[in-house]
Structure 1
Amino acid sequence: MKLTVNLGADSYPIYIENNLLSRSASYIREIFSGRRIMIISDDHVYPLYGNKLTEQLSRDYDCRRLILPHGEATKDFQTLPAVYTALLEAKISRSDLIIALGGGVIGDLAGFAASSFLRGVKLIQIPTSLLAQVDSSVGGKVAVDLPQGKNLVGAFYQPALVLIDPLVLDTLDGRFIIDGMGEVIKYGCIKDAGLFRMLESHGSFAELKEELPAIIERCVDIKREVVEHDQFDTGERMLLNFGHTLGHTIEQYYHYGRESHGEAVAIGMYQITKLSEEQGLTVSGISERILAVLKSYGLPHECGLPMQELMGAILLDKKNLNNRLNVILLHDIGASFIHPTTADFFGQYGDAIL
């Protein structure tokens, strides 16, 4: 199946097919006629899929690779010099190509390197985690982390092509299937009550397996539509941040070593919906429906911290401008909205344990 993100000169196709990785070179040839390719991956993903990709591409291109340690700690500003050095040593030019082969960490890091090296090198995303397939590989948000917070250095840089092979998820550690389900549930919450009801009715990832390509397509299509309306995150695209204000602060509090991104977002979705129900901004009972779905797919809903412990990170959140904070809330399942407020939205619950 093929989707197209229509952004004028920055438009690009997204292909979602089982076994797509084994045919990826033919898709890459359609959009790239240069000479050199740098594949950026990690030490978990490359041994599984990197050789297959490199063998295909080496027939037509001078193919190099950079294999980084797996995990969120790699998506750090301090990793960038090593990436730039590898690109220089490989003699990558502005007419060449960078391929991000991996999950969200590699996609974000390689994407930011592509956006900034020589002021921009063509980029292809080949996401290998559920989270990256349904969310982070599409839309052009690329970034690295600073010690003070997640994704604080970044850019909007659209890929030239996204290749999604759902079968690569068969080798994914179970925790990272759960991690990706956090973002799948988010899409049901913000834009698609039907998707949410389907998740409610199945109750486990194993039951969803046969429908996975269609689920990935639905999530990507929602994101495609949102990005086309608001490429630079000034309006409707903010809805994709549901659960993220709290989620990012939880990740940062534990130095990205306890909850994964999807797990932290799951906590954020449930906890912020509880708060918005208390304030009469969300229909009563929605947080309980979210809680039930999170439990069905093995996702957490609490982190055991008082709100006051997280307030410092919330105040540093890049969405907190001049003490004005846009938080994403739900009127109901499938009906999200932007709620302009301040950090006091959270501060009044300082003693509450999340």
Structure 2
Amino acid sequence: MKSINVKTASVPYTIYVGEGIRHQIKDFFSHRYDQVMIITDTHVAPLYLDDVVSALGNDIKVSTYIIQAGESSKSIEAFEACHTEAINEGLNRHSLIIALGGGVVGDLAGFVAATYMRGIDYVQVPTTVLAHDSSVGGKVAINHPLAKNIIGSFHQPNSVIYDTETLSTLSEQEWRSGMAEIIKHAWIHDPTMLSTCFELEQFSEEPKEVIEHLLWKGISIKANIVEEDEKEHGVRSYLNFGHTLGHALEAELGYGEITHGEAVALGIDFALFLSERYTQQKLLPRKAYQQWLKTHGYPIQILGSIHVDSLLEMMKRDKKNIHQSIRFVLLSETGYPILHSFEEKTLRQELEMFKKEWSTVE
């Protein structure tokens, strides 16, 4: 097992990574709790819920709430339903919420914890590759039909308990989703890590030690950035590389039509396209990245048929924008992110060119 301490100003906590550690979950709690509510989803519950309930033992009152799997559950309706369950079960300010699942469960359960009785403790127990990123850093939120993650808060977990055994049950789509965040970390921080990502042939069939090394690198990069900039006043914004177009694609297509990571993976290519044009650098790995997208089955066909005006409207609502311009994370070179703002007219032209480029790709 490995661990890393995250020293944020609000709540310092520890990330634990290892095989089978869900069976010792109580050992990683920072406090003793008399009552716990586990929030999970319809995919994860049949696989791991009983393990976690059993590991909590008989000296803790445990309740469970199962949401429908998928991005559509990051909604005001699901948020209210979780609160209703917490009230009915009698959770108080000294209770704990466990988020058992992927990024959707973590974001939703974390936001429930942030707002229930003005904030109670929660623990992230991620079960996907994507959640190596979303479970760290305390960003919790739900979606509005007009914008992703627009309703949310910063609320750090009390610990992150990442059992890598749970990765054995992921679908290929979940692997694609999670590896997009892995390669994002590589693009903004580590060219050697990026080269390793390009060498992967089939995510689910790669040697365990290779995947665990990449996961650990991604977690470490995220944790270090969060320590430096907990509430995204500076360098933490670099973690949004690929997310500006990615979030717009999710909202435009309808949450759940493609996964968050798939959308981010496509958004990364647009960020690379802009980087080559506006930083006067030829990012040689871009062609390798486009081949990587094709090799691993990312939904690149979407890019040739995107609705530019609709996406612009979505991007204009992005919470990272300033002074009526649309802000992107670009790269001056691999491993060196920068911020660049675009006026709407300019960005429309760039999106049209990007769309045309992908329309000619077989």
How does the TM-score come out when normalised to structure 1? 0.95
- How far does the alpha carbon of each residue in 1:98-138 deviate from its partner, in whole angstroms, 9 at most, with x for none? 000011000000000100110101010000111012x0000
Q: Which moved more, 1:278-287 or 1:184-193?
A: 278-287
Q: 2-side partners of 1:256 and 1:84: how far apart?
A: 22
The structural deviation recorded for 1:215 is 1.4
Q: Does 1:180 align with 2:181?
A: no
Please state whether the residue corresponding to 2:231 is helix, strand or coil: coil
- How far does the alpha carbon of each residue in 1:182-233 deviate from its partner, in whole angstroms, 9 at most, with x for none? 1111111011111001112333312253322221111010001101111111
The structural deviation recorded for 1:26 is 1.9
Contact 1:291 1:301 in 2 (8 A): no
Change (3 A) 1:293 1:143: same
Q: Which residue of 2 aligns with 1:224?
A: 223
Contact 2:8 2:227 in 1 (8 A): yes
Counterpart mapping for 1:62-77 below 5 A: 62-77=61-76
Q: Does 1:198 align with 2:196?
A: yes
Which amino acid in the other structure matches residue 65 of structure 1? T
Change (3 A) 1:345 1:104: farther
Which amino acid in the other structure matches residue 339 of structure 2? I
Q: Which residue of 1 aligns with 2:333?
A: 332
Q: 1-side partners of 2:34 and 2:331: how far apart?
A: 48
The structural deviation recorded for 1:239 is 0.5
Contact 2:279 2:331 in 1 (8 A): no
Q: Which moved more, 1:286-295 or 1:313-322?
A: 286-295
Change (3 A) 1:131 1:254: same
Change (3 A) 1:182 1:286: same
Counterpart mapping for 1:1-354 below 5 A: 1-28=2-29, 31-133=30-132, 135-205=133-203, 206-301=205-300, 303=302, 304-349=305-350, 351-352=352-353, 353=355
The structural deviation recorded for 1:284 is 4.1
Q: Which moved more, 1:51-60 or 1:183-192?
A: 51-60
Q: 1-side partners of 2:206 and 2:32: how far apart?
A: 42
How does the TM-score come out when normalised to structure 2? 0.93
Contact 1:17 1:213 in 2 (8 A): no
Q: 1-side partners of 2:95 and 2:271: how far apart?
A: 44
Aligned CA RMSD, in angstroms, stands at 1.6
The structural deviation recorded for 1:306 is 4.0
- How far does the alpha carbon of each residue in 1:141-200 deviate from its partner, in whole angstroms, 9 at most, with x for none? 000000111000000000000001111010111210111011111111011111001112
The structural deviation recorded for 1:9 is 4.9
Contact 2:73 2:104 in 1 (8 A): yes
Structure 1: gaps (5+ residues): none
Percent identical pairs in the alignment equals 34
The structural deviation recorded for 1:69 is 0.6
Q: 1-side partners of 2:351 and 2:127: how far apart?
A: 38
Q: 2-side partners of 1:25 and 1:308: how far apart?
A: 50
The structural deviation recorded for 1:350 is 5.1
Q: 2-side partners of 1:336 and 1:282: how far apart?
A: 12
Equivalent pairs, count: 351
Change (3 A) 1:319 1:342: farther
Change (3 A) 1:271 1:14: same
